[in-house]
Amino acid sequence: MHSKEEEEEEPPGPKIRETPQDIQLEAIANTVALHPSRDVLVCGDVDGDVYAFSYSCTEGENRELWSSGHHLKSCRQVRISADGLKLYSVSRDKAVHMLDMERGQLVTRIRGAHGAPINSLLLVDENILATGDDGGTLKVWDMRKGTAIMDMKNHEDYISDITVDQNKRILLTASGDGTMGVFHLKRRRFELLSECQSGDLTSVAVMKRGKKVVCGSSEGTVYIFNWNGFGATSDRFALKAESVDCIAPITENIMCTASMDGYIRAINLLPNRVIGCIGQHVGEPVEEIAKSWDSRFLVSCAHDQLIKFWDISGLPKLTVNDYRKRKKKDGRMRSLSKKALGDNDFFSGLVEETEKKEEEEVEEDDDDDDSDSGSD
């Protein structure tokens, strides 16, 4: 008799969530990077501190692993090596740091690596890294020697982002001067600058199996270049977004973009469409987004001092045709996750109600279907 009651009173097991809980930080994080093979992330904040966390879908299981306060000023970018053993960080204090990823201990410090605050960082391979500063200088470092093997100033303004092709031959930079820079890594030389676009170029990524390069801009436009046609854009795609501040490729055709308006959008490239909203930091500029090692989550950090997780596991299965049908029924941006329009159940209930109402009303066809994200 007693034993049955005892069984009934057994505490429920830990709650399993669709995505890990938000991580609350003590300051705004400028940057977030994800471990290549484990559920671990690292972020760097405006105070110069770097934190590592493990994350889990089990409620209450997110853990801070370590923190490091070696930078004297704001940490602008963090990146984890492909083997998951080293962590690199760059800062407004002009230093490049290499830490032991496991314990968060400083291994190597290059003081005064640049003459201006460092803004961007790319790990080319286990020994080579590229850094870009606020004055437009690009440097490429051989960490075995701790020296720069390339030191070039071809941009008139800050370097916002750096990427490299799969063969590690061509380095591409996005700059606040509105141009994309092209550098030959193997020959260690500057090749060309693209024509100037309106607004700052904020981000650069290689898509479509290396056939296309995309740049985000402060104006909310995505500029598309053909590989080997870097002088001029082949296409442009204006989002109804305040800006495109960062880009995270998800598949060869689908990328996520984040904006000053707090929205994280999923975009299909060629045909150029906004597929929908992955999530948002309500009204808070998003600083960086990154994909988890298993492609299950997109992780974002923003001015609300939160790191948020979004389920993107269904994105690769989405087709653009499917999206076009939905578009005609519902004028607003389609929500691609349960949390896309906020965690609050009350609001998600409201959203469902308004969607039903909109469907009952006369269906209006958008003329500018191709470049409409309808995020108003």
What pLDDT tens digit does each residue of the chain (376 aa) get?
555 555 566 677 889 999 999 999 999 999 999 999 999 999 999 999 999 999 999 999 999 999 999 999 999 999 999 999 999 999 999 999 999 999 999 999 999 999 999 999 999 998 999 999 999 999 999 999 999 999 999 999 999 999 999 999 999 999 999 999 999 999 999 999 999 999 999 999 999 999 999 999 999 999 999 999 999 999 999 999 999 999 999 999 999 999 999 999 999 999 999 999 999 999 999 999 999 999 999 999 999 999 999 999 999 998 777 565 555 455 578 888 777 665 443 334 333 333 333 333 333 333 333 333 333 3
User: For residue 272, which amino acid is it?
Assistant: N
DSSP for 1-42, written as a single string? -HHHHHHHTSPPPPPBPSSPPPEE-SS-EEEEEE-SSSSEEE
Helix, strand, or coil (residue 321)? helix
d(CA 9, CA 3): 10
> What pLDDT sits at residue 323?
60
Neighbour tally for 352: CB within 10 Å? 11
d(CA 231, CA 225): 8
d(CA 212, CA 203): 14
233-269 burial, b if ≥16 CB within 10 A, otherwise e?
beebbbbbbbbbbbbbbbbebbbbbbbbbbbbbbbbb
Helix, strand, or coil (residue 245)? coil
68 DSSP β-pair partners = 50
Helix runs in 138-257, H state only? none
CB 226 within 8 A of CB 218: no
Neighbour tally for 285: CB within 10 Å? 17
Enter the pTM of the model.
0.86
Query: What is the distance, to the nearest Å, from the Cα of residue 190 to the centroid of all Cα atoms in its chain?
Result: 27
